[in-house]
Amino acid sequence: MSQPNRMVEGKVVLVTGAGGGIGRDIALAMAREGARVVVNDIGASVSGEGNDAGPAQQVVNEIRALGGEAVANTDSVSEAVSAGRIVQTALDTFGRIDVVVNNAGILRDRFFHKMSLDEWDAVIKVHLYGAYYVSRAASTHFKEQGSGNYIHMTSTSGLIGNFGQANYSAAKLGIAALSKSIALDMQKFNVRSNCIAPFAWSRMIGSIPTETDAEKARVERIKQMTPAKIAPLAVCLASDESDYANGQIFAVRNNEIFLISQPRPVRSVHRSEGWTPESVASHALPALKAMFFPLDRSGDVFTWDPI
């Protein structure tokens, strides 16, 4: 695989949750573009149960068949010690680490008033704690070498909203804030941090109902959005070609790439004498109401078919 001018030639890239879906395609794309890859996956179900070394090793085998370099790791991101071992695998095998792709995830969907503590904890631990633990373990090495790159998977479920995903949405919006904080704190060490909100057909969304003709048609449209569509942006963000992109949130939907807005003030009101509850009710809220945001879900904002 010694072709010239590859985007991430020689970089050591760690991809969590890379045994299938989006993570697998990112790992393969990184390898094709010259990276040495740590393929992390515990081999659990979508809900996070069980473990199997097979998926991670299978992706490693695919990369090696392409002539690339890769190593499998089956540690969990959801505990600090095991997350540290994932990063250590990169150091032990390849001697350094350049890019962390925080992709590992599980789902425990439930309407909020029915959500259990375990369903909340499990999702927060894998997504938000996992992104923190792996990022934190790599941060010391990034600082010492004066370079590093984080790519985190967020979701429009958190950025915009969705039904039945309070745990997942809270974690994914938290990841966006984590990424921005890393970007601010570590830019002086030449470390970057960005997010991708992926739209892709994978086992993570494979439970969408297909009972009616309309539902079946919708799923067929979603299936156009293969996990491989996410990989080009991830590879570019991992490369030095994108060294000016830091603290940003992108979304990928089939052949579309979006830059996602970040919260900023949209309207203000003031009273020189200060506010009372009554004046808030009679003045502030009515004045601000025209700019209130509707209770949108992701699908209410992305209303057109994938392009």
Enzyme catalytic residues = 168
DSSP for the chain reads ---SS-TTTT-EEEETTTTSHHHHHHHHHHHHTT-EEEEE-----TTS----SHHHHHHHHHHHHTT-EEEEE---TTSHHHHHHHHHHHHHHHS---EEEE-------B-GGG--HHHHHHHHIIIIIHHHHHHHHHHHHHHHHT-EEEEEE--HHHHT--TTBHHHHHHHHHHHHHHHHHHHHHGGGTEEEEEEEEE--SGGGTT----SHHHHHHHHHHHTS-GGGTHHHHHHHHSGGGTT--S-EEEEETTEEEEPP----------TT---HHHIIIIIHHHHGGGPPP---HHHHS-SPP-
Q: Could you tell me the two tokens for 53? A: 């070394």
Give me the long-range contacts of 161-165 (CB less than 8 A, separation at least 24): 161/295, 161/296, 161/297, 161/298, 162/297, 162/298, 163/111, 163/297, 164/109, 164/110, 164/111, 164/112, 165/107, 165/109
Q: What is the dihedral of CA 49, 53, 58, 61, to 10 degrees?
A: 160
